[in-house]
């Protein structure tokens, strides 16, 4: 009986982990497709993906600015 409970807990944990990874992957792909890394995240999933990847709006500037790096 204990082995069944442990097996069920492992299956549940793997399902949660897989769902988390799929959500982060889809959000990252959406950000890449839309090119929104220099703006606010388009969705809560994208905001969570940025947090998990450690990326934010820190020192990122849009490419279309007229500033020239020196």
pTM comes to: 0.63
Summarised one tens digit per residue, pLDDT across range 3-24 is 999 999 999 999 999 999 999 8
Q: pLDDT category, 36, cuts 50, 70, 90?
A: confident
Higher per-residue confidence, 37 vs 27: 27
Q: Alpha-carbon distance 16 to 29, whole Å?
A: 20
Question: Residue 34 is encoded by which pair of tokens?
Answer: 């839309």
Question: Residue 67 is encoded by which pair of tokens?
Answer: 């500033």
């Amino acid at each position: 009986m204990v082995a069944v409970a442990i097996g069920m807990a492992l299956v549940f944990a793997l399902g949660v982990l897989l769902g988390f990874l799929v959500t982060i992957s889809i959000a990252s792909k959406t950000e890449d497709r839309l090119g929104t890394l220099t703006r606010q995240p388009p969705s809560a999933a994208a905001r969570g993906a940025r947090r998990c990847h450690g990326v934010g709006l820190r020192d990122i500037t849009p490419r279309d600015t007229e500033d020239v790096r020196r």
